[in-house]
Amino acid sequence: MVPGGVIPAPPPRVGVRPVYDSADTGSPVLGQLRELWELRRLLRIVVARDVIVRYKRSLLGVWWTLLNPLLTVAVMWAVLSGIFHARSLGVPYIVYLLSGVLLINFFQQGVIAAGWSMAGSSGVISKVHVPPALFALSAVLAAGVTLIVSVGLLLVMMLATGVGMQPSALLVPVPLLALAMLGTGCGLLLAAAAVRVHDVIDFTQVALQLLAFVTPTFYLLSSVSEPMRTAVQFNPLTQILLLFRGLLWGSGLPPWWTWAASAGSGAVALGLGTVVLARTWRASAAML
């Protein structure tokens, strides 16, 4: 086969014709946000890449997305269901467990994947100019695909076990969005640090495991005695989880501070992560 032919000229590239001036003293944060916006179409492709690569050589493929939380919950349920009684929870224990495990799993996976994303994509980053947040963002979004699928699974399980659905369940995207913001923010922070020292990822892995115990995934908040209960309440994941469960099967809307704590912690984390990564990036680039 003789190679040849002519590729037609593509439409102009995105964005205004760039002028790179290394002496430009503009804000790195604003500059990178603008670049991210210009490359938003790319984000979908990178997320798809992350999902495809993750499951490319597996037989079950994306079904692992469902199997992973199901197996976790099944084991926890088998071990713990004797200890916790359904009447105090308001829903079957398996539903209660799954709701907690989903959120925690997403947070753990998203943050760790974002932390590795820079090192993992250093082949691209050291050859083509891209806003550094791109790969961390896409790692969290890829974990978000898993989250959305497993929330669907939770809803099915709620209907199957006769829990039913409150009208307030329509507001469930609010805690999920807050969680995504929190995860992205922490992921960006971890990525910024991990470029310099890989150890922070191992440390974070341990910290995230411990954090899961300080979140009422498998127990009731009210069954924890003080002063531990206060500690659990100060965990932003707890507030997001309480909001999530309250909307799904609580009686009446959750109190205002649960909303405020969820949205607030998400916004603060996201803002902090964006600024820290953008400001440290120039100095980190040479270390990749």
Partner 1 sequence: MIEPAIEVSDLALAYRLMRNRPGTIAELAINALRRQVRYERLWALDGVSFSVAPGELLAVVGPNGAGKSTLLRVLARVLPPGRGRVIVRGHVSPIIELGAGFNTELTGLENAVLYGALLGHDPRWLQRHGDAIAAYAGLEGFMDVPIRAYSSGMIGRLAFAVATLGTPDVLLIDEVLAVGDEEFRTRSAARIDELIGGGTAVVLVTHGMEVARSRGDRVLWLDHGRPVALGEPDHVVDAYVRSVSDPAVVAR
- Report in angstroms how near the CB of residue 205 gets to partner 1 at its nearest: 18
87 binds partner 1 (CB under 8 A): no
**Min separation Cβ 123 and partner 1, Å:** 5
Q: Does the protein bind partner 1 through residue 20 (CB under 8 A)?
A: yes
By CB under 8 A, is residue 78 in contact with partner 1? no
Window contacting partner 1 (CB under 8 A); options: 45-53, 60-68, 154-162, 166-174: 45-53
C-alpha separations of 88 from 117, 216, 222 in Å: 42, 14, 10
Phi/psi of residue 161, each to 5°? -95, 10
Q: Note whether 56 binds partner 1 by CB under 8 A.
A: yes
Between 12 and 227, CB nearer to partner 1? 12
Query: How many angstroms separate the CA atoms of 131 and 223, rounded?
Result: 46
Residue 70 phi, psi dihedral angles, 5° rounding: -65, -45
Indicate whether 57 belongs to the interface with partner 1 (CB under 8 A).
yes
Asked if 26 interacts with partner 1 (CB under 8 A), we say no
Q: Are 97 and 76 in contact (CB under 8 A)?
A: yes
- Alpha carbons 86 and 49: distance in angstroms, whole number: 42
Assess 91 for contact with partner 1 (CB under 8 A).
no
CB 194 within 8 A of CB 173: no
Of 49 and 229, nearer to partner 1 (C-beta) is 49
Rounded Cα gap, residues 68 and 51, in angstroms: 15
Report the site for partner 1 in 92-151 (rule: CB under 8 A): 123-130
Q: Which 8-state DSSP code applies to residue 164?
A: -
For residue 139, CA distances in Å to 64, 107, 143 come to 17, 11, 6
Task: Check residue 29 for interaction with partner 1 (CB under 8 A).
Answer: no
Burial group, residue 226, by CB count within 10 angstroms (0-12, 13-18, 19+)? exposed
206 belongs to the binding site for partner 1 (CB under 8 A): no
Task: Tell me: does residue 17 bind partner 1 (CB under 8 A).
Answer: yes
Q: Applying CB under 8 A, does 53 fall inside the site for partner 1?
A: yes
# chain residues binding partner 1, by CB under 8 A: 45
Name the minimum Å distance from CB 121 to partner 1.
8
**Distance set, CA 245 to CA 113, 158, 208, 217, 281 (Å):** 26, 12, 21, 11, 38
Site of tokens 């964005």: 15
Q: How far is the CB of 128 from partner 1 (least distance, A)?
A: 5
Q: Which stretch binds partner 1 (CB under 8 A): 4-12, 140-148, 174-182, 241-249?
A: 4-12
Residue 196 binds partner 1 (CB under 8 A): no
Closest approach, Cβ 66 to partner 1, in A, equals 22
Q: How far apart are CA 45 and CA 22, in angstroms?
A: 29
Least distance (Å) from partner 1 to the CB of residue 106? 24
The contact set with partner 1 (CB under 8 A) reads: 1-15, 17-23, 38-39, 41-42, 44-46, 49, 52-53, 56-57, 123-130, 282, 285-286
